[in-house]
Structure 1
Amino acid sequence: MKNIFKLILMSSALIFAGACTDLDEVLVGEVSEPFNGEEPTFGTFDGGGSGPSDAVSSAYNQLRESGSANHGGYWSVQTVSSDEAAITQKGGDWYDGGIWIDMHRHTYGPTNGPVNGTWGQQYSAIGACNTALAAGNLDANQTAQVRALRAFFYYRLLDLYGRVKLVTTPGTDAPQSTRAQVFNFVESELLASLGIASVIGMDLSSSPLSASQTRYRINRFAALGLLAKLYLNAGVYTGTPRYAEASVAAGYVIDNGGYTLCDTGCSVPNPAKRPSVASDPDTLEGYAAVFAPNNNTNPEIVWAIAYDNVSGTNMNFAQMTLHYSSQFTWNLQNQPWNGYSALEDFYNSYDAADKRKTANFIVGPQADYEGSAILDYASTEADISLVYTTDINELEPNASRQGGARLGKFSFRQGQRDNMDNDMPIIRLGDMYLIRGEADARVAGDWNVALTDVNTIRARAGVSALGSLTADDFLAERGREMFMEVTRRQDLIRFGKYNDAWWEKPASAAFRNVFPIPQEQIDASGGTLTQNPGY
């Protein structure tokens, strides 16, 4: 069958909520292309749905509402402030008053919109948890879950802002706590949810949390995973390291949870497969399968946010990162926004043979569903083929529209809507190996102690085992594994690298390690909130 595919191209304005302003795609000319094969059809797709419906659903739904995987909130401020990715200004596109340039260069201040929005997102989620607890109709297991869930949102606030209010009852206020007090609250709530006083020598036989694998609900392994993350960063939060506890908590998840690394033989059908493109694999295996649109039964994931394109919305990485014309590769319902790109140095930190490099990034010439070259009609180059370059010419004011590897770790599917189906891991086994390895190395004062755990992760990635380790080696390995999982800013701070200079970012002052308390919140507090030092 041969059909002639004729596109009459015209100037059109892109308007979408929450993304960026004045995105004008100027297209000129007329293009005719032969279309060979069948029109694309997309069968029934099961992405796992939006999670169970029960007495604690309203609280858990806040995981999707709190900026976990969409533009403008928690995920964005954690990621764009690190050396993983940037939102470049492309002429009139994506300037947005300079808020993302400030985030990248660490010149953010108390009136930065995403800094304020992220604060509000977390407190809205905490409010839902407080309401669920105050209702008085939860059993012991549900109560423990919601207390741990609320602790998770306070963990985010602890990490981002440090000095926040510990509000635990609906309709009440609280004084501003120190960062150490917030840490102590998060720790005590997680320990209480587990029914233990300490992870050292713990006995979970009386824990109200389940030992069953309940990926969309907090079980005892998810709570221990949260404690492992908390203890890993305790030195930053309180000045007192807690690495021994971090190792014990992570090790318990590894040894007792029944979870396995998704490696060779752990695969799912590839929902992005284009039948006419031979280079598209039929299946996604190992690391790539952990983050696929159909990852809802992945054996590595301990606790995840349940996303669904209809009933569990607010994951839109495809819209956030892809060039407008990449709509034709995945038959996306709407044109993407062409915002986020990976930094070249971060991309280049991967070995060429690293399977994670292929899974995490989209680079090179782009082709449509039939395998034909996609064109960027607004390009001023002689060759207007869409090619994602690994380099970016500048952060602002006229960054390349095709510059930077695109963020593909949470991979896409054919016929995708604006919202994605991929579950987002909060606790997964790969992270637990790296936490245990780092914690043990820091306790021993010898990074080589982490070799076994690091090489376990590297083996899955298809790269050779390391014979020795330094702190920089470990940080780089953790970055490669945890890309896009909102740990990079934390890791850079813990390793003393967050204030370093990197691409288009000068060295920044140490006070930038916490974000400012939003001015809007200070103004509304009646004097009960004060600003973090330096702002």
Structure 2
Amino acid sequence: MTRKIIFVPLALMCVLIIAGCTKLNEQVLDESSVTGLTDKQIAEGIIAPVYARLPDIFLHTNYFAMQEISTDEAILPYRGGTDWGDNGIYVALHKHETTSTDPNVRNTWNNITQGISRAVTAINTLPTNSDANAKLFLAEARGMRAYYSMLTLDLFGLVFVKDDLSESSKILRGEAALEYLKSELLAVEPVLDNGTGPGRLSKPAVWGLLARLYLNAAVYRDPYAASFTFKNEDMDKVVEYCDKIISSGQYALATEYFSLFNDNNHTNKELIFAVDQRNDLNGHNRMAYFSLSGDQYPLPTYPLANGTDGPAITPDFYRTWVNANLPLDPAVADPRFYKQNLSIYSNPGDSCVDAASFNINRGILRGQQYGLIRKNGVFLKCASGKMLVGKLFHDSRNKPTLPVDFTEAIDFSPAGSNYFTGYRVEKYEFSKTSVSGRNFGEHDIVILRLADIYLMRAEAKLRKSAPDATAALTDVNIVRASRTATTPAKPLPSISLDLLFRERGFEFYWECLRRTDMIRFGKYEGSWTEKSNTDKQKRIFPIPQTAIDGASNLPGYLTQNPSY
């Protein structure tokens, strides 16, 4: 049964958050001061803020930037010498030269620690609530604290432990942090529900998080190791928790790949855990427009909803697709690469499209782009009243003769930073139901889905001291064969860790997994477009200077990560 948490006034009052406060102090308002609310409303008002930081964490310039632009998948140059300069933070992020004053790192840190703070508040407040769901909400709050702490461990190499509101947090690293997270997730797993939907923490979601935790355990124990030691017992646990999810029969691989990222994906059976952004929850993510050209307008009803000429994929990542599918074009060989929605690309005469059926193409966008023609702030129409679709030019950049023709080449040089450089990614669908189209996305942002469960299980089987390559290959090919809405990708004849890493790139590009994957597979110190830094200490990000300064009254409490 799907339950939806309703935001009530208490959601705005139950915590006073101090941005960047490492000690996670909060001022809790006594429930007795909230009049006119039932125990049910109060309980829902306490748990709702615990989830409310997720959309902010997954903003395009926060967690996404740290997990994708720091890797071989995404690059964001100083477009045209005028856009996305931002004091060089995206260039530094890609080159592994990020500093402790980076605002995106700071914002991500603040949102995660605020999520932990709100979870601690809920953990301390819900035990006295008599509503029937209070025990379940308490387990969710504790589980969400563990999830947020997994993020701090992965990004910053530490975990904060705090149960009592009056205490300072204890900081754990390495093995101690790992064991704490395991114990927290295992403690809540028996209490959690199976049917809360992907927007809330469920029993299968905890199984998936445990699988992810065990898979990365070797990294978390020693993040700066020259090589990682993957223990058989850890890999057995990955298999165990993945088996639980797969055998539950509760989830199914989507037959149409891009349906996973559609505006209405909340009910997609592949999603296990996600950021709930349905319009009644006021989601505000901009993932759909971040990479598009400023002259691509995906919504006929919103003439101001355009792209921003943001990040593109690197030529290095694009070439992995090409080389894996030769002699076929990857758009033909693999339905995860591209989906054509506008017929004008294959039939130039199809220049008039009903507004209701207009959809831009999805996936990796290459070459000359076509779309709605906008002049003087309005879209042009055909004589029939349909929307006029044609070749796009950089009108919004005052370059009306320069085609929106995406090139493979992109780098940080003036020529490589132009508005048309780099193949773009349109994975998440532009929302057709939000209040502005451009600024508000109603799709759920995927945190964990069934394909990841299969590929984590495959990786665990390959990493054991006695690898089971046959079983691993079966798991990989199950995922490849599942996208039957079009011709699925051909099965792989064999599998290795390098091929599995490549496969994870094809399946999960743009989903905030790449940095973690690259570190685990020993690829993060490699070289790719505009990046040659080999410093192992850059696997972990700097702790924001604001957090260091905020803890300065406690000498030795919070120390900066090495190399920053």
TM class by shorter chain equals 0.7 to 0.9
TM normalised by structure 2 equals 0.75
Task: Answer yes or no: is 1:112 the counterpart of 2:113.
Answer: no
Residue equivalent to 1:60: 51
Residue equivalent to 2:320: 349
Residue equivalent to 1:143: 138
Residue equivalent to 2:198: 215
Task: Answer yes or no: is 1:326 the counterpart of 2:326.
Answer: no
Q: Output the amino acid matched with 2:481.
A: A
Task: Verify the 8 A CA contact 1:62 1:128 in the aligned structure 2.
Answer: no
Residue number among 238, 242, 245 corresponding to 2:221 in the alignment = 238
Deviations 1:139-170 (A, max 9, x none): 32221111111100000000001134323343
Residue equivalent to 1:489: 515
Task: Verify the 8 A CA contact 1:321 1:406 in the aligned structure 2.
Answer: yes
**Distance in 1 separating the partners of 2:44 and 2:437:** 25
**Distance in 2 separating the partners of 1:297 and 1:324:** 31
Mean Cα deviation higher: 416-425 or 223-232 = 416-425
SS for the counterpart of 2:560 is: coil
Residue number among 397, 419, 423 corresponding to 2:440 in the alignment = 419
Task: Verify the 8 A CA contact 2:298 2:430 in the aligned structure 1.
Answer: no
SS for the counterpart of 2:285 is: coil
Structure-to-structure mapping, 1:282-321, within 5 angstroms: 286-309=256-279, 311-321=281-291
Task: Verify the 8 A CA contact 1:89 1:398 in the aligned structure 2.
Answer: no
1:500 and 1:448, CA in 2 relative to 1: closer, same or farther beyond 3 A?
farther
Q: 4+ runs of 1 displaced by more than 6 Å?
A: 378-382
**Distance in 2 separating the partners of 1:173 and 1:392:** 47
**Distance in 2 separating the partners of 1:232 and 1:295:** 27
Structure-to-structure mapping, 1:40-59, within 5 angstroms: 55-59=46-50
Mean Cα deviation higher: 225-234 or 399-408 = 399-408
1:497 and 1:327, CA in 2 relative to 1: closer, same or farther beyond 3 A?
same
Task: Verify the 8 A CA contact 2:258 2:427 in the aligned structure 1.
Answer: yes
SS for the counterpart of 1:325 is: coil
1:491 and 1:463, CA in 2 relative to 1: closer, same or farther beyond 3 A?
same
1:511 and 1:363, CA in 2 relative to 1: closer, same or farther beyond 3 A?
same
How many Å apart are 1:496 and its aligned residue?
Answer: 0.4
Structure-to-structure mapping, 1:164-203, within 5 angstroms: 164-170=159-165, 172-194=167-189
Residue equivalent to 1:227: 210
SS for the counterpart of 2:370 is: coil
Residue equivalent to 1:24: none
Task: Answer yes or no: is 1:249 the counterpart of 2:241.
Answer: yes
How many Å apart are 1:60 and its aligned residue?
Answer: 1.4
How many Å apart are 1:514 and its aligned residue?
Answer: 0.8
**Distance in 2 separating the partners of 1:426 and 1:320:** 19
How many Å apart are 1:177 and its aligned residue?
Answer: 2.0
**Distance in 1 separating the partners of 2:299 and 2:410:** 22
Task: Verify the 8 A CA contact 1:309 1:418 in the aligned structure 2.
Answer: no
Deviations 1:356-385 (A, max 9, x none): 000422223222232212211377989522
Task: Verify the 8 A CA contact 2:393 2:399 in the aligned structure 1.
Answer: no
**Distance in 2 separating the partners of 1:312 and 1:168:** 30
How many Å apart are 1:64 and its aligned residue?
Answer: 1.4
Instruction: Structure 1: state its 5+ residue gaps.
Output: 1-51, 195-206, 264-285
SS for the counterpart of 1:349 is: helix
How many Å apart are 1:109 and its aligned residue?
Answer: 2.1
Residue equivalent to 2:559: 530
Deviations 1:403-439 (A, max 9, x none): 1122211122457241111111222111100001111
SS for the counterpart of 1:453 is: helix
**Distance in 1 separating the partners of 2:428 and 2:306:** 18
Deviations 1:177-225 (A, max 9, x none): 223222222111100001xxxxxxxxxxxx2111225222211101101
**Distance in 1 separating the partners of 2:300 and 2:370:** 10
Mean Cα deviation higher: 349-358 or 55-64 = 55-64
Instruction: Structure 2: state its 5+ residue gaps.
Output: 1-42, 223-228, 339-361, 373-387
TM normalised by structure 1 equals 0.79
Task: Verify the 8 A CA contact 1:437 1:449 in the aligned structure 2.
Answer: yes
SS for the counterpart of 1:323 is: coil
**Distance in 2 separating the partners of 1:363 and 1:310:** 35
How many Å apart are 1:54 and its aligned residue?
Answer: 6.0
**Distance in 1 separating the partners of 2:299 and 2:368:** 11
Task: Verify the 8 A CA contact 2:156 2:542 in the aligned structure 1.
Answer: yes
Deviations 1:305-361 (A, max 9, x none): 111357422310133211111126665443432111111221232231110000422
Residue equivalent to 1:129: 119
1:397 and 1:385, CA in 2 relative to 1: closer, same or farther beyond 3 A?
closer
SS for the counterpart of 2:180 is: helix
Q: Output the amino acid matched with 2:410.
A: I
How many Å apart are 1:250 and its aligned residue?
Answer: 1.2
Residue number among 502, 507, 512 corresponding to 1:476 in the alignment = 502
SS for the counterpart of 1:318 is: coil
1:334 and 1:211, CA in 2 relative to 1: closer, same or farther beyond 3 A?
closer
Q: Size of the alignment, in residue pairs?
A: 448
Residue equivalent to 1:371: 389
Residue equivalent to 1:46: none
Task: Verify the 8 A CA contact 1:89 1:397 in the aligned structure 2.
Answer: no
How many Å apart are 1:513 and its aligned residue?
Answer: 1.0
Task: Verify the 8 A CA contact 1:193 1:208 in the aligned structure 2.
Answer: yes
1:396 and 1:225, CA in 2 relative to 1: closer, same or farther beyond 3 A?
farther
1:311 and 1:259, CA in 2 relative to 1: closer, same or farther beyond 3 A?
closer
**Distance in 2 separating the partners of 1:518 and 1:447:** 42
**Distance in 1 separating the partners of 2:414 and 2:113:** 33
Structure-to-structure mapping, 1:493-532, within 5 angstroms: 493-526=519-552, 527=555, 528-532=557-561
